[in-house]
Chains A and B, each alone.
Chain A
Amino acid sequence: EAGVAQSPRYKIIEKRQSVAFWCNPISGHATLYWYQQILGQGPKLLIQFQNNGVVDDSQLPKDRFSAERLKGVDSTLKIQPAKLEDSAVYLCASSLLGADTQYFGPGTRLTVL
C-alpha cells in the first residue's frame, strides 16, 4: 500500500514570496491533516479536512496560509507571503476517518531567507 506522498521535499524561498505544498493521502483515507513542525518542536496541527470539508482550522494563520482539498483527495497548502518564522517542516497525514490512526508523509522542509 502506497504511503502519504508529499512534494516538493525541500523548498528555499525569500521572505514575502509565495510557496505551495502538495499532498496525496493514502487511497481511501477520508481525513487529511496538515501539520507544521518547527525545528526542535513537535508537530502542530494547522488544518484538518474530512473529505473536502474543513473540520478544524483554528490554528491556521489565515492572513497568510490557505489550504484546499478539492474532490476530497489531494490537498495543497499555500503560504502567501512567507515570513522568516514560517521556516519549518510541513507534514501531511491521513487517516481512514477522524478517529483512526494517522499516517504521516515525509514532509516538505521549507527555508525562508
Chain B
Amino acid sequence: GEDVEQSLFLSVREGDSSVINCTYTDSSSTYLYWYKQEPGAGLQLLTYIFSNMDMKQDQRLTVLLNKKDKHLSLRIADTQTGDSAIYFCAVESGGSYIPTFGRGTSLIVHP
C-alpha cells in the first residue's frame, strides 16, 4: 500500500517562509492533500492538488508536486504564530478515495 513520509518537526521565525516536505511511494496517486491540525481540534483541509498539476497557489500557500520524485511540498509565506500546528500530508491513490496520511510535521513559529 501507499507509504507517506514527513519530517516530524520544523521551527521557523515569524515572517519567514516555511517549507514542509512529504514523500510518497505510489506512482498512481491521484489527489494529494495538506491538512492542518491545531491542538485539540480535528483536521482542517488547507489545500489539495491533482496529480496532473505541478503547482498550485492559494494566498500564502504554495503546493509543489514533483511526480517523478514522488515529492510534495507546502510553502507558507510570511509565517505567523497562528500557523503553529501539525501539518499532515495525505495521498489518495488507486481510486480508493481514502487518503493515506503521513505522521505529521509539527510547525513551531517563534517571534
Chain B residues with CB under 8 Å of A44's CB are 101
Chain B residues with CB under 8 Å of A40's CB are 103-104
B49 → chain A closest CB, angstroms: 13
A36 → chain B closest CB, angstroms: 11
A30→B48 CA distance, assembly (Å): 21
For B83-101 the 0/1 string (1 means CB < 8 A from A) is 0000010100000011111
Chain B residues with CB under 8 Å of A98's CB are 97
A72 CB within 8 Å of chain B: no
For A6-44 the 0/1 string (1 means CB < 8 A from B) is 000000000000000000000000000100000011111
Cβ-defined partner of A91 (8 Å) among B42, B97, B99: B42
Chain B residues with CB under 8 Å of A103's CB are 45
Q: Which of B35, B97, B99 has the most CB of A within 10 A?
A: B97
Nearest CB in chain A to that of B4: its residue = A42
Cβ-defined partner of A42 (8 Å) among B40, B97, B102: B102
Q: Quick check: A106 and B40 within 8 Å, CB to CB?
A: yes
Q: Quick check: A104 and B42 within 8 Å, CB to CB?
A: yes
Q: Which of A42, A56, A106 has the most CB of B within 10 A?
A: A42
Q: For chain B, residues 60 to 111, give those with C-beta under 8 angstroms from any C-beta of chain A.
A: 88, 90, 97-104
Q: Quick check: A56 and B98 within 8 Å, CB to CB?
A: yes
Chain A residues with CB under 8 Å of B97's CB are 98-99
B27 CB within 8 Å of chain A: no
Nearest CB in chain B to that of A9: its residue = B40
Q: Quick check: B101 and A48 within 8 Å, CB to CB?
A: no
- B interface vs A, CB < 8 Å? 4, 35, 40-45, 48, 88, 90, 97-104
23 A–B contacts, CB within 8 A, in A order? A33-B98, A40-B104, A41-B103, A42-B4, A42-B88, A42-B90, A42-B100, A42-B101, A42-B102, A43-B43, A43-B88, A43-B101, A44-B101, A45-B98, A56-B98, A91-B42, A93-B42, A93-B43, A99-B97, A102-B99, A104-B35, A104-B43, A106-B41
